[in-house]
Structure 1
């Protein structure tokens, strides 16, 4: 091998050695630091980052790296110090943390298993296609400040005055210039007194005066119809959440029911003892 080729090979090797480890060579067990005989791994760092407040998780990884690693190194150094004792408080906290994490692992599995495409489609059919979809209403209104004025307008409209023209002339609401038209809406979209008044009408009926925090209304129901089922994709996220919640709730209830659980009645204790942190001391 020529000297030139040997030099090139050596340079290439040096460059490759200096490159960061490739993704396939890295795992959660990859050691990033040691403190004495204790290893700190990439997995430890990933868990710290995942537990940071949202605003810090938005920071670039190269900004977070040194801070997270320094924190873990400092904590491990302090944990190894003679002043650091595994007290009752520490042991109890570790018990609670392990219990919480193990439960969370089980919940994650149950929630994941509950969500299949078949389950989503079945829930969609049951809740939205075949279920009660409710009504939608198309109404118009005339809004004024004084009840007597609303009563006079109601009499005019019932006497034959055109509702839309009257709304354009007298309504103080933003829909006035459009003849008072509010378009289509369903239950819960309007304030309660207005919604109740609309639901009591048949298409073409007019009612009033109806008071809300906005003033006094004269209301006309233009039309009503059964709500159409939304597209599956529009409610997919909501269905997934419901499936997961129901599955997890049922799973927990069944586990507790089948377990050999005994609980002391709180009447045996003074509940204020919960604030006595002195009991945690060795």
Structure 2
């Protein structure tokens, strides 16, 4: 392809998120990282025998086997989804959604189909937990040790989030305006061109027969394009060799290949370029329309800018908290023991 389909992204630093206008909800990731409640016993399932006391995992945490065995059944009226003996109740789903971030909740509200995907993943997790419980897989010493490490890491992360959350009123309007003004150049949207093309494929290393065939087709296309009232896109669809039918849409100036950009810039609206030979073949471009470069306004980027500023402030607060904690409790390292440990690993 000669001109990639592009969507402009802003430069790094504080404005990096300002160009990201699309929200997405990684349902699979959310469902797998959020703790799924244990499976429920259905009303028709036989009552289980009184369970024997199940062993506690390290650090006194209940194992997955215990969680499944001691799950409280949901009333059938409260169940919103079920697979096998695994249920998801309305209350559980409401609690799950409430625990999501504001952006994920907004995405769910915008696209209700995402909620169905989330429920499916929750049910899949319930089935996996039932397998874990049936095999007592989580009670293996090495797995229990890994679960301990995961729990500790999760606790540390949650606590650090709690001590590094910026004040609700940050950033102020004054802070926001200052950052916007300081980064106006990064918010420049370059000139854009609405383009169409006829593409005739023939690589640079093609033999003479292929070159002659492509050149003949190119001459035929040019003849059709010169005809009165010629329909460029219709000819591109009929004669061109691109999946998009020749319609490139809006392309930012800085995303156009230099060999093509030089020609496009000199075209008048609705004008057609001379054939351009590139490594992949011949390109004939038509300039349909142009949008002048402009700087995005503060209202346009406000939401993304606020989120990025809060994210950077949280990271700064986290670093400061950890630095102060280490200052109050300086770590002492046994360098010799560490060196011996590394020697053992290398062997």
Q: Same fold (TM over 0.5)?
A: no
TM-score (norm 2): 0.38
Give the TM-score taking structure 1 as reference length: 0.44
Q: Which has the larger radius of gyration?
A: 1
